[in-house]
Structure 1
Amino acid sequence: MSKAIFRPFDRYTFGEDICFLTGVPAVLQQTVFPQWLLKQFDLEDKPFKMMDERIATYGDIKVPVSAAAISAIHDLDEEIEKAFNEGFETVRSLPELKLFQWITKQVYGIIHWEVRAGIRQQRAIGEDFNFSQSIAHKFGNLHIMLQSLTREVEFEGVLPWSIKVFPVNNSPETFGYRDEMNTLVFSLRMKDFGVIACLQDNGESLNYHREVLEKVEGKTLHPIQLEELSARFFYSAYLFNRLPEYTILPTEEAIYIESMPLRISSRAVYDNWQVKTYGQVLEAFWKTWGFSLFEIIKNPEQPMSFLENENGEFINAEEIQLPVQ
């Protein structure tokens, strides 16, 4: 007989005393962002914008955890801390599943915290908590994949995610974290590397951005180039018009997850790229350098880029000259 899968979105099982990962009784509340990260970059009291525009701090965001979850998360965090502090080459050699688990632990942990807050707010005014069924379906599948931390999970066929690690000339104090919950896309910039991940696209982002990814392969990027790449992935995640489906089979030995085909429709997998909307995304990612939307899309046929020149050739990081801030 197979062990039942914990599915918190089926009945909105988000109690303060129920482990966010396993569904068994929790023994404590633990910060979503690991302590080593909070201490190393002094993040504990720094602001973190939530989905509804409320401002929390990195240290505020906590989830209830069981003993089994604490142990699994500790082991994962320890491995990731070592790799991240050693830098790009070690991060690049990590198994993709480890990166997926660590990224998803943060992203889903924030989702769990947000849902609990939403349930409390709705109860306070005597209303039921309502949630988009498609988003709940997506988040539920992500949670099942995250259970690979405490259960044997086998991913068959196409992997559900896209993850890329890049060498970046960051300043030593850099910590740049971004995520977008609705589209499940993530980026991180620190030490001498950057990571971009789409957590539920079945690898399509890597195909969609193949041309630019081939140009940057093996190149060390300037921080503004990594941010431009991130903007492209974040915007394309918004254009991604499929709701991925998975065959999920629990057995006594493991949970087997297989991605269903995305291309069964004649409709393109991505909606049309709109330069102005992309420019707005890029403006937010380039906020540090102060470029305005007007500057970015002054030529709508060829928006400003620090990745490619007018001829479509890669721009080496050493050639980039930026205004003094």
Structure 2
Amino acid sequence: MAVQVYNPFERFNFSNRNCFLTGTPVDAEEERIQVFPQWLMTRYALEERPFKLLDESITTYKDLKIPCSTDLNNQFLIPLEEEIAEAFDKGYDAVKALDPIKIFQWAGKLLYGMIFNEVQSGIKMQYAQGEQFVMSQAIRHKFSHLLLMLQGINHPIIFDEFTPFSLFLFKVDNAPDEFVYRDEINTLTFSIRLRDMGLIICLQDNTANLRYHKQLLDKIGETPLHPIQFEEMCARVFYSAYLFNRLPEYNLLPVGEELYIEAMPLRGMDSRPLFDHWQGKTFGQVLENFWKKWGFLLLEIIKNPEKPMTFLTREDGELIPAGEVGLPA
């Protein structure tokens, strides 16, 4: 039987009465799962921690939920969570050994859970104002393709000779109980820092961001980073994801019971570079946000707008070892 693709963006059906991944009817009260997995919330005491949505409303990590059929959860999501949790518990080496597609599915499910909650909130807010909910065609395009690819969790969906995401994994000298999570929904970019590692993933770029940062990534290799270095790397990737100016297109090729997804060339008929021009001042603003913990102000960061402050490389371009990162007292 051919794979049946579910797309709630056609009619904006984001009811709690339909499973977020399959669209099958569910019990709106009983069949719901938390966006942030319980194992993660328990280990880092996240349940009651506040979480701000795009409409500025405040909820908690434990109250972010999505409708999910019991069968889907038991058969596919719980085993995925258990595999990811075990690897995260062991640390960097175990996570590196995971199938990258599993990490993509896990991170994508989490970020899509955020999207689901944001869309629900937006629909309710617009309805209360007597207005119709509107989403740009570009954003709808990205979100629906992400959901399509996540259906590989429970269907035989195969990426035909391409990888739809950029995955960055680093060793990081974190404090024992440190947990930092960030996302940027519009660019489908996600980062998490915990234990002895930091992970960044761009969920819909066909590895473009990975190639964009290749020179710096080659310098880092397996070298452990100081947390401020990882946060700088996050800022670089989040900013380049913003500069990425293509909307990847795909062909869907059903073959028997499998669905092959084929990527169209990113360049297409567009002669522009894949990324817009990097602006030092704008990047400095992004970096200021990622470096809030250390108190650096924008004026310090972009004292030289052409060369913003960096803790990753020296003047000669060589990587600064984590132990040599000099931070003000």
Q: Taking structure 2 as the reference length, what is the TM-score of the superposition?
A: 0.96
| 1:64-99 per-position Cα deviation (integer Å, ceiling 9, x unaligned) | 000232121111110110000100000011010000
Counterpart for residue 123 of structure 2: 119
Query: Aligned partners of 2:70, 2:261: CA distance in 1, in Å?
Result: 25
Counterpart for residue 244 of structure 1: 248
Counterpart for residue 20 of structure 1: 20
The DSSP-based 3-state class of the residue aligned with 2:252 is strand
Query: Aligned partners of 2:3, 2:164: CA distance in 1, in Å?
Result: 23
Query: Aligned partners of 1:127, 1:302: CA distance in 2, in Å?
Result: 46
Matched, 1:206 2:210: yes
1:18·1:24 contact (CA, 8 Å) conserved in 2? yes
TM alignment of 1:117-266, pairs within 5 A: 117-264=121-268, 265-266=270-271
- Give 1:251 shift: 4.6
Counterpart for residue 65 of structure 2: 62
- Give 1:259 shift: 1.2
Q: Taking structure 1 as the reference length, what is the TM-score of the superposition?
A: 0.97
Counterpart for residue 82 of structure 1: 86
The DSSP-based 3-state class of the residue aligned with 2:238 is helix
The DSSP-based 3-state class of the residue aligned with 2:149 is helix
Residues matched between the structures, number: 324
1:177·1:188 contact (CA, 8 Å) conserved in 2? yes
Query: Aligned partners of 1:215, 1:113: CA distance in 2, in Å?
Result: 39
| 1:167-196 per-position Cα deviation (integer Å, ceiling 9, x unaligned) | 100001111100100001111100000101
Counterpart for residue 98 of structure 1: 102
Greater than 3 Å deviation, 4+ residue runs = none
Counterpart for residue 287 of structure 1: 292
1:104·1:146 contact (CA, 8 Å) conserved in 2? yes
1:3·1:251 contact (CA, 8 Å) conserved in 2? no
Unaligned runs of 5+ in 1: none
Matched, 1:29 2:32: yes
Query: Aligned partners of 2:42, 2:260: CA distance in 1, in Å?
Result: 37
The DSSP-based 3-state class of the residue aligned with 1:213 is helix
Pair 1:306–1:118, CA change in 2 (3 A) = same
1:5·1:250 contact (CA, 8 Å) conserved in 2? no
Structure 1 window deviating more from structure 2 (45-54 vs 152-161): it is 45-54
Query: Aligned partners of 1:256, 1:11: CA distance in 2, in Å?
Result: 25
Matched, 1:298 2:289: no
Structure 1 window deviating more from structure 2 (45-54 vs 287-296): it is 45-54
- Give 1:252 shift: 4.2
Letter in 2 for 1:12: F
2:32·2:69 contact (CA, 8 Å) conserved in 1? no
2:3·2:155 contact (CA, 8 Å) conserved in 1? no
- Give 1:55 shift: 2.1
Query: Aligned partners of 1:191, 1:218: CA distance in 2, in Å?
Result: 16
Counterpart for residue 46 of structure 2: 43
Unaligned runs of 5+ in 2: none
Letter in 1 for 2:152: S
2:181·2:193 contact (CA, 8 Å) conserved in 1? yes
- Give 1:208 shift: 0.6
Query: Aligned partners of 1:282, 1:8: CA distance in 2, in Å?
Result: 35
2:278 to 268, 273, 277: 273
Query: Aligned partners of 1:140, 1:180: CA distance in 2, in Å?
Result: 16
Letter in 1 for 2:35: V
Pair 1:9–1:251, CA change in 2 (3 A) = farther
Give aligned-pair identity as a percent. 52
2:161·2:262 contact (CA, 8 Å) conserved in 1? yes
Query: Aligned partners of 1:141, 1:193: CA distance in 2, in Å?
Result: 28
Structural RMSD (CA): 1.2
